[in-house]
Chain A
Amino acid sequence: MPQNSLIQQTVCYHCGENCNAADIHIEEKEFCCQGCKMVYEIVNQSGLCEYYDIDKNPGINQKIHVRKGKHAFLDNEEICNKLIHFSDGTQKHVTFYLPQMHCSSCIWLLEQLNKLNKGVMHSTVNFLKKDVTVIYNSDLISLRQVAELLTSLGYEPHINLHDLDSSKIKKYDRSRIYKIGIAGFCFGNIMLLSFPEYFSSGDIQETQLKSFFSILNIALSLPVFFYCSSEFFMSAYAGLRKKFLNIDAPIALAIFLAFIRSLYEIGTHTGAGYLDSMSGIVFFMLVGRFFQDKTYQSLTFDRDYTSYFPISVILLKADGTEDQIPASSIKKGDRIRIHSHEIIPADGILFLGKGNIDYSFVSGESMPVEKGIGEIIYAGGKQIGGAIELEVVKEVAQSYLTQLWNDDVFTKKKNEKKVSFVHQVSRYFTYVLFLIAFLSAVHWSVVDPSKTWNAVTAILIVACPCALLLSATFTNGNMLAKLHGFDFFVKNAGVLESISEADTLVFDKTGTLSISGEERIHFVGPPPDPHQQQLIRSLAIQSIHPLSKAIAGSLPIHRPLLVKHYVEEKGKGSTALVNGEKIKMGSAEYVTGEKKIKAGEGSNVFVSINDDVLGFFVVKAGYRPGLETLVAELKQNYNLSVISGDNDSELQHLKHLFGEETEILFQQHPQDKLEYIKALQTRGHKVIMLGDGLNDAGALQQSNVGIAITDEVNNFSPGCDAILDGKQFAKLKKLLDYCGKEKNIIYGSFIISILYNIVGLSFAVQGTLSPVIAAILMPLSSITIVVYTTLISSFFANRIKT
């Protein structure tokens, strides 16, 4: 955007945005809008101005005003009870999700709520989850007032249908942390108690002391065997029942054998057993799993339409009264009112007001659609402008948009069926292991039968594929963390593998390739002089139409001039007297009076000043920076296609960008996109879908890997496997390549673990594996693997930066 303005730019004291509107200030402090000023006043009155000292301009922009009474639905008892998770009569606990939370000032202010309202007793922020738990006294303040208090500070709680469905908040699963703690404790102590045995090379003088140590060791190993390793046994059992030998099966076998043999040895006084090695590997494997499964608490990957839809609607009763009802209980024939910027929850017929529906999120069309009385409005659109009233023709669950979720794709979980290559490798490993054990059993039963049991169990214990498991878990855990650093949030480790297998990339256009606010604009005709620019901009900022906003954004910023007699005609244009001069801008017909002037590609906005036509603006969708080089890079490895719900006004430009051979489809419905992906898959392609909106939800779900592109990571992206911050879009190729490295890194650590196994097995086969060697070898191999995977994944991650 050209910014050749000479006027000193002031930023809002509250939110840090440019102040372009009229003077709004308190003392020295400038504000961009009345909303920001109001929040400042509230904060100031309660003496909480420290808010502004912790971080600079920490506030949330208040330009979009939250409608009064928006939270009236919180007076509804039924909704209240679903949100409150603890109550003892007067004291109530509620947790709100506040996606606006972004800095330490936010934490500070939100934990001072008790100073703003006496009814709030305590508030605790969880920054990673972006939620705040408020404890309040329901005699002094209602739930609605709590929500309104947060809203007045700029943190509007996000409450949607989804919150109500999952009646109770998911409890944080702590069982793995317990297991790690206990396994670590037992491992350390067993190790300590085994030292005397090791250093006296097996014969401690006092047999009494020796048996005391052994009994303590057994006691300490019981919780490891029965509690900490339970997940390995359960997973192995589940795998075997499905006739599948997963990686946990040989691990469970090794743990089981190590435990039984140790009990036998100690019981018969023939040795010290392998209890320390056993608890050691359990500990390391639990840590590895914990590391890999560390998830992003504030991100949700499994969203469906209920996350987007409003929690309640205003029902207009026959007797003229209004009522707030939960959106899920809307029935056919109900009359509902939708305010500006609200999402329409159910298909309905417009019977009052002027519809101006923004379907960009649903269909990908970038321009709002005008609807007149009697026309049907589909759910999922957002009303922009005045309030409208609808008569519902279909319930929420049967509406046009929600029907997409009835497709089979959404009922089955993907990636669940997919078997990781780690499991397959481990299966070969297990077969080879059994073969070695069998061969040495045959050998020893001929040579020296007394050593058979010894050798076979030692083989199965020492060759436990824990190194395989560790290499996978630590590599994945590391890579996920590194990708997080590049704002690429991958749902789980399985997705990394799917990415490395993909050969086709399908892009959505609106919001994925192109971004709003980055339109390419140029003026055809004699360029307007600064004064004219000022006139045009003053008119353009009056309208909320995207084209108008884009044009205003492209012009230098001035203090707006006085605008009188402003008239906006939907779908045509607007006119007003600015500083006494008549400015008109809009479609060719509206401004010039002549029909059908097709001037060029993109959207054209004509401008006239005092009925003298100056020329027109050409507004073209802006594409993400670096797209051209990215496409060139991606073309080398992938088949590309573009599939858009928008019209084909950008066809030429996309053809130029992607080349002739790329398939580019327009005006595709959400279902069409899903079918398109399906068709690619039946032809044997592995597809990565990149999309941003609800209209891509089906395709994202159907694809092998669905990547949601979003400019605000904590906002609402559709259900997907990975979320990529739009700012990192240019790095897409490098990020995908990095995911592809996963397999290589794991294979590398497999080789290391096999080397260790050869050493261990060479002892075991000879029947000379002493507990000391096992106790050294096992942790050593684990640590080598951890160090190797950490170093190498960081090394590759550093290469993305360049």
Chain B
Amino acid sequence: MSVIIILLAASLSIALAFLIAFIWSVKSGQYDDDYTPSVRMLFDDTISPEKPESNTETEK
């Protein structure tokens, strides 16, 4: 029966990983704007030479 404890630990840690991923995604501002990205992804990629480093997190 002790195998259940191992399984449980595994399932909980996976769930926890998802929770942490969720919290991280909220923190990085992915939930602040739930409309613009849906439009943005439809634009054709044009050759954009230099992309600045992501600064979503450094803001504010």
Contact = CB atoms under 8 A, between A and B. Distances in A.
Interface stretch (A104-112, A317-325, A771-779): A104-112
A135 interface: yes
A182 B32 contact: no
A127 B46 contact: no
Interface stretch (A170-178, A620-628, A727-735): A170-178
Nearest to A186: B19
Given A107-B39, A177-B31, A209 B60 contact: no
B43 A178 contact: no
Given A174-B27, A181-B23, A216-B8, A206 B43 contact: no
B1 to A, nearest CB: 6
A188 interface: yes
A438 interface: no
B23 A107 contact: no
Contacts of A185: 15-16, 18-19, 22
A86 B43 CA distance: 29
A209 B6 CA distance: 12
A609 interface: no
B37 to A, nearest CB: 9
Given A50-B46, A121-B52, A177-B26, A107 B8 contact: no
A128 interface: yes
Contact of B60 (A86, A122, A206): A86
B44 A128 contact: no
Given A50-B46, A209-B4, A174 B26 contact: yes
Contacts of A121: 52
B12 interface: yes
Contacts of A128: 33-36
B23 to A, nearest CB: 6
Interface in A111-125: 111, 121-122, 125
Given A86-B58, A181-B22, A172 B32 contact: yes
Contact of B26 (A178, A192, A193): A178
Contacts of B52: 121-122, 135
Given A107-B40, A171-B60, A127 B26 contact: no
Interface in B11-60: 11-12, 15-16, 18-19, 22-23, 26-27, 29, 31-36, 39-40, 42-44, 46, 52, 55, 58-60
A189 interface: yes
Contact of B39 (A104, A133, A172, A209): A104
A599 interface: no
A590 B60 CA distance: 62
Contact of A182 (B19, B40, B46): B19
Given A177-B26, A216-B8, A209 B1 contact: yes
Contacts of A192: 11
A54 B43 contact: yes
B55 A178 contact: no
A181 B19 CA distance: 7
A85 interface: yes
Interface string A177-214: 11001100100110011000000000000100100100
Given A126-B36, A127-B35, A174-B32, 13 more contacts: A50-B43, A85-B60, A86-B60, A93-B55, A107-B39, A126-B33, A128-B34, A172-B29, A174-B26, A177-B26, A181-B23, A209-B4, A212-B5
Interface of B: 1, 4-5, 8, 11-12, 15-16, 18-19, 22-23, 26-27, 29, 31-36, 39-40, 42-44, 46, 52, 55, 58-60
19 contacts: A93-B55, A104-B42, A104-B43, A107-B39, A126-B36, A127-B35, A127-B39, A129-B33, A171-B60, A174-B31, A174-B32, A177-B31, A178-B26, A181-B19, A181-B22, A182-B23, A185-B16, A189-B12, A209-B5
